[in-house]
Amino acid sequence: MTGMEWYLPLIWAAIIGIAVMMYVILDGFDLGIGILFPFTRKEEERDLMMNSVAPFWDGNETWLVLGGGGLWVAFPKAYAIIMPAFYLPVIGMLLALVLRGVSFEFRWVAKPRHQLWDFAFAAGSIAAAFLQGIILGGLLQGVEVANGQYAGGPFDWLTPFSVFAGVAVVGGYALLGATWLNMRTEGPVKSLGRRFTPPLLGFVLLAMAVISLWTPLSLPRVADRWFSTPNIFYLWPVPVAVALITYVIWQSLRRGAEFLPFAGTIALFILGYAGLVISNVPYLVPPVLTFWDAAASPASQIFFLMGTIFLLPLVLGYTVFVYWVFRGKIAPGEGYH
Amino acid sequence: MEFDPVLLARIQFAFTISFHIIFPAFTIGLSAYIAVLLLTWLKTKNDKYHRLARFWTKIFAVSFAMGVVSGIVLTYQFGTNWSRFSEFSGNVIGPLIGYEVLTAFYLEATFLGILLFGWNRFPNWLLALAAVLVAIGTATSAFWILSANSWMQTPAGHEIRDGIAYPVDWLQVIFNPSFPYRLAHMLNAAYLTTAAVVLAVGARYLLGRRFVEESRTMLRMAVGMIAISAPLQLFIGDLHGLNTLEHQPVKVAAMEGHWDEAKGSAFVLFGIPDQEVRENHYEIAIPGLGGLILTHEWNGRYAGLEQFPSDEWPPVANVFFTFRLMVGIGLFLILIGFWGAWLWWRGQLFTSRLYLLTSSYVWPLGFIAILAGWFVTEQGRQPWLVYGHLRTIDGISPVPAASVLGTLALFVFIYGIIFAMGIYYINRLIERGLSPEAREPSEGLPNRPLSAAEEATREALGRGPGTSGYSAQEMKP
């Protein structure tokens, strides 16, 4: 393997890894708003919840396009296996995202008969989060491949583990949403966020613990990665950091802090994501395809990389700009037409 | 009951991509129109251009949202439904799709934000610049997507090793033989389609004696655009046809219902092609004209279907009829353009009831023609997915037919609801009409034209979000 063929797939794995993580964090909190939607029945509170993410959701979802499109560009063999393997959950997730996406717009036009779009927004958000967890869980467990093609059945992804991962992602996104509401709103919506943060935090920790035990117990390669020497000496700070951050979230929330609980939750997500990466590197489709097996030809990876180097920072700059333009608190609205 | 998984996958993809293309086709044209309006406003300082730009921006926002959500689906459907194709062509056209996301998707999103939310926050020149950049973004998107599609029609600049395509020359890949014609044909189609919508809306208002000054401007701009772009479309289409004859002759034979070179080259006005008996039923044809159209020489001969193995024929009747539908609409729009230009010259454009009434119904024609045109070129490519290299049957995912059928039913159900609601809301926006100047909506039930309404409300309140926080009240219409 020459130098270029070795490091190009690594660079691309990093770029797509970052795109997926950006997606999980950014769309995570706005899906979380939809997941928390059923927990208030008051129309003005729902309006406020939705408005707190309305300017951002579109940009947030673009990271999903970059993640999926980027996977095809840089790792076509992985893309060609993962998509058919998760055919039903992927299409279900996309349709759920379509429904909740148009709800942002249609809900306002339909008022006062907007109940359908309230339902579509909540159900779409929950379904999208759950199916993303299912895909994640199914991928961790491994995919059956023969002759470079998916060789399993249409429901191979449906296991107790993947269902658990689905529920975990719903809970995790809800935590992001709750801490977002705590940070960005006032009044009853803010207290809704505050009230839901501790139980959701507890649930997320429990889910992380269960997945951290379940994967090494059922998958020897994961156990080997974490518990063999010398790996264990380098990796023990990961769970310690999780414990520390949990403490920070909990304490800052009690003090009434607004930014720290949200930032801490993002840090928890990044750590959980890092844990999954550690468990699975260098597999893109565990346990059959590595970054190098699945890579596109170097000519294709270089051609797309040359543009990405300039364009991706531009995109990040735009994202920061939009969040900056819309900074500040969103007060609860009273006067309603 | 047995289903054909290839046919089901094709129907599903045809359904989702047909749904999708309607919205980009409109937003490519509309963003350019809004940019022209704003630039004219800057130059003339006439506020009617400003009012028109604001009105169309609201409709643009609705269409753009529906284009976005249906577009995300497609990024994944290449893999879910056509995984073997994705693997075969990923090295070559994957980067083209990737560049579409990075150069166009984000450019549109960035400056759309300024266009929708910035009317009172930013200087006029920045608004105009944003509109121009959104228009460039939508056209750039078309550039990459059509390049990737054209590569599937006329692949070039690659080599195939072990059943996978590898890039050899990127310029040849991007600027493959059919790409310039397809890009010109589609972009012009988008502008023509939008002009037809603007014409219909202007005519509808004039018939109802509403927004007279603005409607006359819409009518003049639309008639001028159609009078130029409709004949231009015929010219580009002719060049595109000659290019197709060179690279995909069997597609042209199907488009023309042309069975055998030895039997001359009549132009078939009407007929019902029958693939079984290999002839057209009830044919009405003009001898020699087909040769004139395709070889630019009376009685010029070109290959018919019989000159190709029948397992390389596209579905002849589908291609034949959708081609005639597209051309028929194109000719009708040329008539509308010339008729309008003539009335304008005679000074009767705003008073001819017959013309206004006819024009008020032309809004769907461009969309139908665009869909028909895509059906011609995509079905005409069959049985190939990548022409000459990968058959459609070999590009499919290893997914059971029942999965495809089940998700197809879901797509039809959900897209059906969304499409019906979207059209209904756009129609309500048109019915409501132009707002004279910024003021608080007086109606009891506010219609929130998607994101644009937030902006209108903010304008009504005289300030925007950001500087000192923004309230939910401001976000509401």
Identify whether A333 is part of a domain.
no
First to last CA, chain B: 52
Q: Which domain holds residue A206?
A: 8-325
Identify whether A334 is part of a domain.
no
Number of domains in chain A: 1
Bridge partners of B268, per DSSP, are B285
- Euclidean distance between CA atoms B167 and A11, whole angstroms: 20
Identify whether A1 is part of a domain.
no
A82 and B79 within 8 Å at the Cβ level: the answer is: yes
Identify whether A55 is part of a domain.
yes
A87 and B80 within 8 Å at the Cβ level: the answer is: yes
Q: How confident is the model over B113-138, as pLDDT tens digits?
A: 777 766 766 788 888 888 898 899 89
Task: Find the closest chain A residue to B169 by CA distance.
Answer: A299
Q: How confident is the model over B273-308, as pLDDT tens digits?
A: 888 888 888 888 888 788 788 888 877 788 888 888
Average pLDDT of chain B is 85
Identify whether A331 is part of a domain.
no
- Euclidean distance between CA atoms A92 and B305, whole angstroms: 42
- 191-250 in B: which are within 8 Å (CB) of A? none
The minimal CB distance from A98 to the residues B92, B397, B418 is found for B418
Identify whether A52 is part of a domain.
yes
Residues of chain B in contact with residue A111, where contact means CB-CB under 8 angstroms, are: 445-446, 448
Average pLDDT of chain A is 87
Determine the residue type at B180. P
Q: Which of B427, B429, B471 should we substitute to test contact with A (largest number of A Cβ atoms within 10 Å)? A: B471
Q: What is the pLDDT of residue B344?
A: 92
Bridge partners of B158, per DSSP, are B167
- Model pTM score: 0.87
**A257-261, B212-216, B440-444, B456-460: least confidently modelled range:** B440-444
Q: Name the minimum distance, in Å, from the CA of A55 to any CA of chain B.
A: 8
B92 and A300 within 8 Å at the Cβ level: the answer is: yes
C-alpha torsion A174→A176→A180→A181, nearest 10? 20
Identify whether A336 is part of a domain.
no
A72 and B101 within 8 Å at the Cβ level: the answer is: no
pLDDT band at A26 (very low <50, low <70, confident <90, very high): very high
Q: CATH number for the domain including A18? A: 1.20.1630
- Euclidean distance between CA atoms B177 and B244, whole angstroms: 9
Instruction: Pull the structure tokens for residue B81.
Output: 């439904």
The minimal CB distance from B84 to the residues A73, A80, A315 is found for A80
Judged by phi (left if over 0) then psi (alpha if -120 to 50, else beta), residue B123 lies in: beta
Q: What is the pLDDT of residue B357?
A: 94
Determine the residue type at A151. A
Q: Angle, to 10 degrees, between the axis of helix A298-325 and the axis of helix A3-36?
A: 30
B78: contact with A, CB 8 A cutoff: yes
B98 and A150 within 8 Å at the Cβ level: the answer is: no
Q: What is the pLDDT of residue B2?
A: 66
DSSP B448: -
B72 and A80 within 8 Å at the Cβ level: the answer is: no
B471 and A330 within 8 Å at the Cβ level: the answer is: yes
B69 and A83 within 8 Å at the Cβ level: the answer is: no
Identify whether A205 is part of a domain.
yes
Q: Name the minimum distance, in Å, from the CA of A96 to any CA of chain B.
A: 10
Q: DSSP string of A40-101?
A: ---HHHHHHHHHTTTTTHHHHHHHHHHHHHHHHHH-HHHHHHHHHHTHHHHHHHHHHHHHHH
